[in-house]
Amino acid sequence: MKSAIYPGTFDPITNGHIDIAKRAVTFCENIIISVVKNPIKNTFFSYEERISLVKKSTKNIKSISVEGFDGLVVDFAKKKKINVIVRGLRMISDFEYEFQMALTNRNLAPKIETIFLMPHPEYSFISSRLLKEIFTLGADLHKFLPISALKALRKKLDENKSRSNKR
């Protein structure tokens, strides 16, 4: 396989995301980690911050590039002339949503395939949402986040606390 797209919000990117991307490059020549600009999702980090964090977190991984996109992932894939989408499945609870999304994408673009990869077991239970929540409660996340994402999360949390204290 030449290339694949690994789309997501990456708010922030986790070691589980990186695990999936590293494993995908073992059978693809190039992986484009595609950060979606989703106006419906209320993200902790801005679109630009998320792209920057993914770039910093993957800069030393050969065959991975990072791009942002707006709209449907199948349209982005067509634009890039890529017919494979990589998605991660952590738990059985992910399956229903991911299966529905894959079938919808297949209906919209029949020539584009979705490949599911499971992360290493040590990352199979983590999600960006959960990590942000437990981080605000004081959890040490160095095992779950790349150092650049951990630093950005600390900085963002400190900025939010400063703003709240000024009110």
Where b means 16+ CB within 10 Å and e means fewer, 95-116 reads: eeebeeebeebeeebeebbbee
Single-letter code of the amino acid located at 121: P
41 is catalytic: yes
Q: Is 128 a catalytic residue?
A: yes
Tell me the CA end-to-end span of the chain in Å, nearest whole number.
54
Give the ranges where the chain is alpha helix by DSSP (H). 15-24, 47-58, 73-80, 92-108, 128-136, 147-166
State the catalytic residue, choosing from 22, 90, 106, 156: 90
Handedness of CA 117, 119, 121, 127 (dihedral sign): negative
Query: Annotated catalytic residue: which of 17, 50, 87, 132?
Result: 17
Q: Which of 34, 57, 128, 148 is catalytic?
A: 128
- Taking only Cα atoms into account, the Rg of the chain, rounded to an integer number of angstroms, comes to 16
Report the catalytic residues.
Answer: 17, 41, 90, 128
